[in-house]
Structure 1
Amino acid sequence: MIAVITICSASRLDHVRRQQRLLTSEPVRRIVVWLDADAPPSVPEFAGAEMLHVRPGEQGMRLAAGRDRGAEAALEAGATLLVLLDADCLPGPDLLARYGAAAAAHPGALLCGPVTYLPEGVLPEDAGDLPALTAPHAARPAPPDGENVPGEHRLFWSLSFAVTAEAWRTVGGFDESYEGYGGEDTDFAFTARAAGVPLVWVGGAHAYHQHHPTSTPPWQHLDDILRNGRLFADRWGTWPMQGWLDAFAAAGAIERTPGGWRRSPVVPDRSGPHG
């Protein structure tokens, strides 16, 4: 049995409703984990899905804990393949089949599919509309359909990935010390690498990221990135999210010290839409 696990909040409700509509026609167990403090809403698209509720922690949304709770529920239900898909991502028509085939060929691997970022205003309602929109993000490998290639763990994205029940148990799930935005997915990938779990890019397992306003770098998550980045650095000896840290530093918002990155004494007044 395949279980598709999605963590979401009210800010992504429209996105996840569109995603869940596409998944209702698939022979999968759908698990939706609500991350806001308030109870999840009752919407038609959630009918038939197992709804879980993981409330925020002291530092913000508990993305790592949400994914772990979803995976635990899937394993308890007897799922043999876990597909984790972010709330703003739509599954391509062949995503589940390609992940399933890759899991059969690489049962002990962390499986990642290409992700296309859709332009603003493009809101597909039918899975058949997606292939024509395919334009995988250039920062990640995108093998030809049906081909699987080994990859580097540092490039792991939690937007769309799959693991067998066996591989999930080997990794041990996400580290729930991470709260708020950033770092938990790279930590998961590094933990997989340390456990001897390879990463494989799966050609044809396309997901489609729906547009939403954000800022680059994500100013609204600066404190989360610093806090979670330090947690990661203490564990792995290097800081994640380096591109964002460089951008914050170039803007004068943070500075490098012998102990790592920290806020600058005078932080520029920046604001941006929430991502």
Structure 2
Amino acid sequence: MTGRVAVITAWSRDREDHLLRQRAFLSRVSAQGVEVFRVDIGLDADPAATPPGVVAGHVAPGPHGVRVGAARNEGARIALDQGAEVLVFLDVDCLPGPELVRRYVEVLRRHPSDIACGPVTYLASVERPGLPDQLDGMTRPHPARPSPAAEESRSGSSEEYDLFWSLSFAVTPGTWRRLGGFDEAYEGYGAEDTDFARRARASGVGLRWVGGAHAYHQWHPAGSPPWRHLDDILRNGALFSRTWGEWPMRGWIDAFVAAGAVEEHAGGFRRAAV
């Protein structure tokens, strides 16, 4: 497998600084025999201007907010039309490590039917790297997910599919078409990536943890639990439950329940009565 690798990013203007830093870092990432190109999909109501060297698309918000799953699907469609042989999905908040593209390509050459997932480090607010070679000293992969040694990978177990994060992953065109992309019924924040992973498991698509394919999540203010996304979490959680028979994001939902903002209702959850 050589040729074209698309890096697909959905973004909105409130993350433009992160997007520009990601673009700068990606311009320094390479892999032998591979051409890397960007596909950026805007999520705002109005399309953004397209800079040179970027293939752009646009997916406007729906009635319940930004449509991240639909934007990733549109990015994949554009990338495949451009002849991409590997699709790398990278969240707008994430900086690519120097070996991210190389490791994804190498692993998918050997395991073309798997979803490849690299480790993600959450940078602190004071960590603002300016060059890729500064990232090594900041590397501390999130402990909740597997992180194989730099040149190794391993197959994920059935129980590990719920550890899939759409922050950083890669697939071949064949695997993407087999899965049919993200479920576009999910709007706003939450659960579309867990649904994607559940469908992968149900379809017999492998999950592979890729050492060395590091991504670095740039800091931004966030709540824990994320109060501004409460209604999205309840709506998307109910959608997920109707498909899979259980609620996702239970840590956050339990925190909302403990705070008195959410209550159990009819086997699920809703905003607590005032």
Q: TM-score range by the shorter chain?
A: over 0.9
Structure 1 residue 121: deviation in Å? 2.4
Which of the numbers 149, 155, 166 marks the counterpart of 1:150?
Answer: 155
The one-letter code sitting in structure 2 at the alignment partner of 1:75 is: L
| Aligned residue type for 1:24 | S
Of 140-149 and 81-90, more deviation after overlay is shown by 140-149
2:198 to 190, 195, 199: 190
Per-residue CA distance 1:137-180 (angstroms, 9 max, x = gap): 11111111111112211110000000111111111100000110
- Runs of 4+ in structure 1 deviating by more than 4 angstroms, as ranges, are none
Q: Which residue of 1 aligns with 2:24?
A: 21
SS at match of 1:225: helix
Equivalent positions of 1:1-275 (< 5 A) are 1-25=4-28, 26=30, 27-41=35-49, 46-151=51-156, 152-266=160-274
Deviations 1:236-255 (A, max 9, x none): 11111111111111111111
SS in 1 for 2:10: strand
Cα separation, 2, equivalents of 1:117 and 1:129: 15
For residue 262 of structure 1, give the secondary structure of its aligned residue in structure 2.
strand
Structure 1, residues 89-125: CA drift from partner, whole Å, max 9, x if none?
0000000011011101111001100000111021112
User: Deviation string for 1:66-96 (max 9, x for gaps)?
Assistant: 0000001111111111000000100000000
Which 5+ residue runs of structure 2 have no aligned equivalent?
none
Partner SS, residue 177 of structure 1: coil
SS at match of 1:125: coil
Provide the C-alpha distance between the structure 2 equivalents of 1:183 and 1:94, rounded to a whole number of angstroms.
Answer: 28
TM-score normalised according to structure 2 size: 0.94
Give me the whole-angstrom Cα distance separating, in 2, the residues matched to 1:106 and 1:248: 40
Q: Distance in 2 between matches of 1:226 and 1:149?
A: 34
Relative to structure 1, the CA distance from residue 166 to residue 180 in structure 2 (aligned partners, 3 Å threshold; closer, same or farther) is: same
Identity of aligned residues (%): 56
Amino acid at match of 1:109: D
Counterpart of 1:270 in structure 2 is none
* Unpaired runs of at least 5, structure 1: 267-275
Cα displacement string for residues 6-38 of structure 1 (whole angstroms, at most 9, x for unaligned residues) = 000011100010000112244311000000112
The count of residues paired between Structure 1 and Structure 2 equals 263
